[in-house]
Chain A
Amino acid sequence: MPGTEPAGFNRARLVTLEGVSRLQVVSGKGGTGKTTVAAALALALATEGKRTLLVEVEGRQGIAQLFETEALPYEERKIAVAPGGGEVYALAIDAELALLDYLQMFYRLGGAGRALRKLGAIDFATTIAPGVRDVLLTGKACEAVRRKDKRGRYAYDYVVMDAPPTGRITRFLNVNDEVAGLAKIGPIHNQAQAVMRVLKSAETSVHLVTLLEEMPVQETLDGVAELRAAGLPVGRILVNMVRPTLLDGPVPRDIKKSAIAKELSRAGLGGARKGGLAEQLVEPLLAQADEYAERIALEEEQRAELAGLGLPVQELEFLSDGIDLAGLYRLAGALRRQGV
Chain B
Amino acid sequence: MTLDVPPTLAVDPLLDDPRTRIIVCCGAGGVGKTTTAAALGVRAAERGRKVVVLTIDPARRLAQSMGIDSLDNTPRRVKDIEGEGELHAMMLDMKRTFDEIVEAHADAERARAILENPFYQSLSAGFAGTQEYMAMEKLGQLRARDEWDLIVVDTPPSRSALDFLDAPSRLGSFLDGKFIRVLMAPAKVGGRAGMKFLNVGMSMMTGTLGKLLGGPFLKDVQTFVAAMDTMFGGFRTRADATYRLLQAPGTAFLVVAAPERDALREAAYFVERLAADRMPLAGLVLNRVHGSGAARLSAERALAAAEALGAELPVESDDLGPVENHEADGIVDQEGGKEEVRTPPEPHDSPETPATEAPVTDTPVTESPVTETPVTELTAGLLRLHAERMRLLSREQRTRDRFTALHPEVAVAEVAALPGDVHDLAGLRDIGDRLASGGRPG
Give the contact stretch, choosing among A17-25, A196-204, A308-316, A321-329. A321-329
B119 within 8 A of A: yes
A165→B29 contact, CB < 8 A = yes
The CA of A77 and the CA of B293, in the complex, are separated in Å by 49
Contact of A121 among B209, B323, B383 (CB under 8 A): B209
B315→A266 contact, CB < 8 A = yes
Give the contact stretch, choosing among B88-96, B144-152, B359-367, B403-411. B359-367
The CA of A130 and the CA of B220, in the complex, are separated in Å by 12
A330→B355 contact, CB < 8 A = yes
Query: Could you say which residues of chain B place their CB within 8 Å of the CB of A229?
Result: none
Interface string of B20-33 (1 = CB under 8 A from A): 00000000111100
Within 8 A of A (CB), among B86-122: 118-119, 122
B327→A286 contact, CB < 8 A = no
Contact of B205 among A121, A271, A320 (CB under 8 A): A121
B3 within 8 A of A: no
A295 within 8 A of B: yes
B4 within 8 A of A: no
The CA of A60 and the CA of B159, in the complex, are separated in Å by 8
Q: Whose C-beta in chain B lies nearest to the C-beta of A121?
A: B179
B361→A244 contact, CB < 8 A = yes
A182→B419 contact, CB < 8 A = no
> Within the complex, what minimum Cβ distance (angstroms) separates A52 from chain B?
22
Query: Could you say which residues of chain A place their CB within 8 Å of the CB of B308?
Result: 266-268
Contact of A120 among B157, B174, B326, B332 (CB under 8 A): B174
Query: Could you say which residues of chain B place their CB within 8 Å of the CB of A165?
Result: 29, 157
The CA of A189 and the CA of B213, in the complex, are separated in Å by 7
A109→B208 contact, CB < 8 A = yes
* Given known contacts A292-B385, A321-B355, A268 and B324 CB-to-CB distance under 8 angstroms: yes
* Given known contacts A186-B215, A255-B374, A277-B341, A112 and B178 CB-to-CB distance under 8 angstroms: no
Q: Whose C-beta in chain B lies nearest to the C-beta of A128?
A: B174
Within 8 A of A (CB), among B252-266: 258, 260-263, 265
The CA of A182 and the CA of B119, in the complex, are separated in Å by 7
Contact of B385 among A103, A119, A288, A298 (CB under 8 A): A288
B198 within 8 A of A: no
Chain B facing A: main interface SS: helix
A182→B365 contact, CB < 8 A = no
The CA of A320 and the CA of B126, in the complex, are separated in Å by 38
Q: Whose C-beta in chain A lies nearest to the C-beta of B297?
A: A281
Interface size on B, residues (CB 8 A): 102
B421→A264 contact, CB < 8 A = no
Q: Whose C-beta in chain A lies nearest to the C-beta of B351?
A: A324
Query: Could you say which residues of chain B place their CB within 8 Å of the CB of A178?
Result: 122
A326→B128 contact, CB < 8 A = no
B419→A294 contact, CB < 8 A = yes
Query: Could you say which residues of chain A place their CB within 8 Å of the CB of B293?
Result: 283-284, 287-288
* Given known contacts A245-B364, A322-B261, A127 and B170 CB-to-CB distance under 8 angstroms: yes
The CA of A322 and the CA of B360, in the complex, are separated in Å by 15
Q: Whose C-beta in chain A lies nearest to the C-beta of B173?
A: A120
A12 within 8 A of B: no
Contact of A260 among B313, B320, B382 (CB under 8 A): B382
A281→B365 contact, CB < 8 A = no
The CA of A126 and the CA of B202, in the complex, are separated in Å by 20
The CA of A121 and the CA of B213, in the complex, are separated in Å by 12
Query: Could you say which residues of chain B place their CB within 8 Å of the CB of A246?
Result: 360-361, 364-365, 381, 384-385, 388
Q: Whose C-beta in chain B lies nearest to the C-beta of A254?
A: B374
Q: Whose C-beta in chain B lies nearest to the C-beta of A62?
A: B262
Contact of B129 among A103, A128, A186 (CB under 8 A): A128
> Within the complex, what minimum Cβ distance (angstroms) separates B227 from chain A?
17
Contact of B214 among A29, A128, A183, A213 (CB under 8 A): A183
> Within the complex, what minimum Cβ distance (angstroms) separates B156 from chain A?
10
30 chain-A/chain-B pairs, Cβ below 8 angstroms: A60-B160, A103-B208, A120-B178, A123-B170, A125-B209, A127-B170, A129-B221, A130-B123, A133-B127, A182-B118, A182-B217, A185-B215, A189-B214, A246-B385, A247-B365, A248-B381, A255-B374, A264-B383, A267-B309, A268-B320, A270-B341, A281-B294, A284-B293, A285-B382, A285-B386, A288-B294, A289-B382, A291-B419, A298-B419, A321-B395
- B residues lining the A interface (CB < 8 Å): 28-31, 57, 59-61, 118-119, 122-123, 126-129, 157, 159-160, 170-171, 174, 177-179, 182, 204-205, 208-217, 220-221, 258, 260-263, 265, 292-294, 297, 301, 304-306, 308-309, 313, 315, 317, 319-321, 323-324, 326-327, 332, 337, 341, 348, 351-356, 358, 360-362, 364-366, 374-376, 378-379, 381-386, 388-389, 391-392, 395, 419-421
